[in-house]
């Protein structure tokens, strides 16, 4: 897929860009997994009551579960 | 709300050319400066400086990779499923096929929900793109693309248009009307042009911009009206197979996954890769953001799905079982993010408890590979498309 250009400038620029990208990634601010995981849990907890696939809403409110036929008389 | 930590793109005078542009940090002799993207390119193409050889740059890259792993490991104080031990286990799930959408003549490759939570667009190998009403299973619109293998389709946020593409290397937008003798093909607008197949497309927050991913290894952002390329995203080493936009209204990032086993998070304004994750053992077929925007899940040909947290900058969960040996083709979260639905190449859909890492349910029904899976916008159901020519709505 990539053309093999044996151009030393291209190789150097690619290597430099890779180094810059890695530097940026290495120096980024990270948080502890315990805190990040706690936040994921908190989000779940806060929204789980509204999740119709976990706390099923009554069949009459879920358009897919009710047996009503959707036909319009033209 | 969406409280992502990502690289803040600063706008200001470049430290080299003094022009007002979006800036990126660069490190020269351990000093941090801010360069505009043009100066970064120029710096990268200068000849070798003193004491620098190609080999020294490569070894610097290697040592930085090691440092990156070290930094990530330092904050790895606990596993997600350990933190989740105190969470209540989920009850038994009864999820059944509630509707079966039949009408495609060949493998269904992709589908998307409309924001009205009712309409669905799907595309298949034979070039047909169909818009369905999922409540009644009626087909509302149908168009035949000039190419086969329509691998990507998307519904516009307004519900007034759809986008699709595949082996034609393009992404085309079709406006939807309710005229009696509608000729959808006549109103087609070609928006994106890639040099290889289109694997994924998505409208951004409006009908005006489309994000595409392609087998040519790049992603791109396009203006729908003019067809102009607004930004391109280079960095994947092989075909890009999937993408997903961050869920916030103000969000400016998206994640992409590719055949190079990497998932990369991009800033849409600057075109820069912010974070990348390489823990899968094979092609990443599908990526999807967690509803809060702080994490994303990926499904891969290595038969696992993984959860990556963006702020901890690492993989935090793996969803796998020894008995699952076929690749996962598509993943999506339920509304609260507690459940992860994954469609596999062994014709099944596995439902995972995201926090505890265990499988909650396995759904049978399709008679061939599950190729695409999306939860409806209000979370009441999810739809799966398969190589068995049908789509199924589960609730």
What's the pLDDT score for residue B294? Answer: 93
A34 found inside a domain: yes
Two tokens, residue B225: 């009206």
How far is the alpha carbon of B61 from chain A, nearest alpha carbon, in Å?
A: 5
A2 found inside a domain: yes
What's the pLDDT score for residue B5? Answer: 37
How far is residue B298's CA from residue B185's CA, in Å, rounded to a whole number? Answer: 34
Q: Does B90 lie at the interface with A, CB-CB under 8 angstroms?
A: yes
A62 found inside a domain: no
What's the pLDDT score for residue B282? Answer: 97
- The size of chain A, in residues, is 74
How far is the alpha carbon of A34 from chain B, nearest alpha carbon, in Å?
A: 6
Q: Which of A29, A53, A71 to mutate to test the interface with B (most CBs of B within 10 A)?
A: A53
Those residues of chain B that have pLDDT short of 70 are: 1-10, 29-30, 45, 47-51, 249-250
Q: Does B378 lie at the interface with A, CB-CB under 8 angstroms?
A: yes
Contacts of A50 in chain B (CB under 8 A): 335-336, 379
What's the pLDDT score for residue B1? Answer: 33
Cβ pair B217, B236 in contact under 8 A:
yes
A22 found inside a domain: yes
What's B242-261 look like in SS3? EEEECCCCCCCEEEEEECCC
Q: Which residues pair with B220 in a beta bridge?
A: B212, B232
What's the pLDDT score for residue A18? Answer: 84
Q: Which residues pair with B142 in a beta bridge?
A: B130
A13 found inside a domain: yes
Judge: B312–A33 Cβ closer than 8 Å, yes or no.
Answer: yes
CA angle B148, B111, B114 (to 5 degrees): 130
Cβ pair B83, A38 in contact under 8 A:
yes
Judge: A70–B136 Cβ closer than 8 Å, yes or no.
Answer: yes
Cβ pair B319, B357 in contact under 8 A:
yes
Q: Does B352 lie at the interface with A, CB-CB under 8 angstroms?
A: no
Judge: A20–B40 Cβ closer than 8 Å, yes or no.
Answer: yes
CB atoms within 10 A of CB A16: 24
How far is residue A33's CA from residue A30's CA, in Å, rounded to a whole number? Answer: 9
What's the pLDDT score for residue B9? Answer: 59
What's the pLDDT score for residue A56? Answer: 84
Phi, psi for residue B283 in degrees, rounded to 5: -50, 140
Judge: B295–A57 Cβ closer than 8 Å, yes or no.
Answer: no
Two tokens, residue B223: 């203006």
What's the pLDDT score for residue B29? Answer: 67
Sign of CA pseudo-dihedral B43, B47, B49, B52: positive
Mean local confidence (pLDDT), A13-39: 87
Number of domains in chain A: 1
**Domains of chain B with CATH codes:** 12-46 (no CATH), 94-394 (2.130.10.10)
A6 found inside a domain: yes
What's the pLDDT score for residue A3? Answer: 47
Q: Report the residue of chain A nearest B53, measured CA to CA.
A: A12
- The residue behind tokens 């691998």 is B151
CA angle B300, B350, B352 (to 5 degrees): 90
How far is residue B122's CA from residue B120's CA, in Å, rounded to a whole number? Answer: 7
Query: What is the interface pTM, i.e. ipTM, of the complex?
Result: 0.82
Phi, psi for residue B67 in degrees, rounded to 5: -65, -40
Mean local confidence (pLDDT), A32-49: 93
Two tokens, residue B117: 């939570």
* Chain centroid offset of residue B394 CA: 22
Judge: A62–B72 Cβ closer than 8 Å, yes or no.
Answer: no
A64 found inside a domain: no
CATH number at residue A10: 4.10.260.10
Q: Does B38 lie at the interface with A, CB-CB under 8 angstroms?
A: no
Q: Which of residues 9-68 of A touch B (CB under 8 A)?
A: 9, 11-13, 15-41, 43-45, 47-48, 50-54, 57, 62-65
A61 found inside a domain: no
Q: Which residues pair with B390 in a beta bridge?
A: B102
The range of the structural domain enclosing residue A12 comes to 1-48
What's the pLDDT score for residue A74? Answer: 59
* DSSP H stretches of helix in chain B: 37-45, 54-74, 80-83
Single pTM value for the model:
0.87
How far is the alpha carbon of A42 from chain B, nearest alpha carbon, in Å?
A: 10
Judge: A41–B95 Cβ closer than 8 Å, yes or no.
Answer: no
End-to-end CA distance of chain A: 56
């Amino acid at each position: 897929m990539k053309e093999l250009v044996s151009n030393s400038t291209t190789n150097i620029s690619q290597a430099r860009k890779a180094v810059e990208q890695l530097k940026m990634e290495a120096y980024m601010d990270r948080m502890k997994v315990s805190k990040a995981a706690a936040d994921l849990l908190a989000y779940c907890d806060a929204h789980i009551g509204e999740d119709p696939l976990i706390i099923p809403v009554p069949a009459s409110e879920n358009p897919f579960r009710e047996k009503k036929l959707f036909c319009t008389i033209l | 709300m969406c409280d992502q930590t990502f690289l803040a793109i600063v706008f200001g005078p470049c430290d080299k050319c003094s022009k007002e542009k979006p800036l990126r940090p660069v490190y020269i002799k351990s000093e941090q400066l801010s360069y505009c993207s043009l100066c970064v390119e120029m710096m990268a193409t200068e000849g070798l400086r003193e004491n620098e050889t190609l080999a020294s740059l490569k070894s610097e890259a290697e040592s930085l990779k090691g440092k990156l792993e070290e930094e990530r490991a330092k904050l790895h104080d606990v596993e997600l499923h350990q933190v989740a031990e105190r969470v209540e286990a989920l009850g038994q799930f009864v999820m059944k096929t509630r509707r079966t959408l039949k009408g495609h003549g060949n493998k269904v490759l992709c589908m998307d929900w409309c924001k009205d939570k009712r309409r669905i667009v799907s595309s298949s190998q034979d070039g047909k793109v169909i818009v369905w009403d999922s409540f009644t299973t009626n087909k509302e619109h149908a168009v035949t693309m000039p190419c086969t293998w329509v691998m990507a389709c998307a519904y516009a946020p307004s519900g007034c248009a759809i986008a699709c593409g595949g082996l034609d290397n393009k992404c085309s937008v079709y406006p939807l009307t309710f005229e009696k003798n509608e000729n959808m093909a006549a109103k087609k607008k070609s928006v994106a042009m890639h040099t290889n197949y289109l694997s994924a497309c998505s409208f951004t927050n409006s009908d005006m911009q489309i994000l595409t991913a392609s087998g040519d290894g790049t992603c791109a952002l396009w203006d729908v009206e003019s067809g102009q390329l607004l930004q391109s995203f280079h960095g994947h080493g092989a075909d890009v197979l999937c993408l997903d936009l961050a869920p916030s209204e103000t969000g400016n990032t998206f994640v992409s996954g590719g055949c190079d086993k990497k998932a990369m998070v991009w800033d849409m304004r600057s075109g820069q890769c912010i974070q990348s994750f390489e823990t899968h053992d094979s092609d990443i077929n599908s990526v999807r953001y967690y509803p809060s925007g702080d994490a994303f899940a990926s499904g891969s040909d290595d038969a696992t799905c993984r959860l990556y947290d963006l702020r901890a900058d690492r993989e935090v969960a793996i969803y796998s079982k020894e008995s699952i040996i076929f690749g996962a083709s598509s993943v999506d979260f339920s509304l609260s993010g507690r459940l992860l639905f994954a469609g596999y190449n062994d014709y099944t859909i596995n439902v995972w408890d995201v926090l505890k890492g265990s499988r909650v349910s396995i759904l049978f029904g399709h008679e061939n590979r599950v190729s695409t899976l999306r939860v409806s916008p209000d979370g009441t159901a999810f739809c799966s498309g398969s190589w068995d020519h049908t789509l199924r709505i589960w609730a």
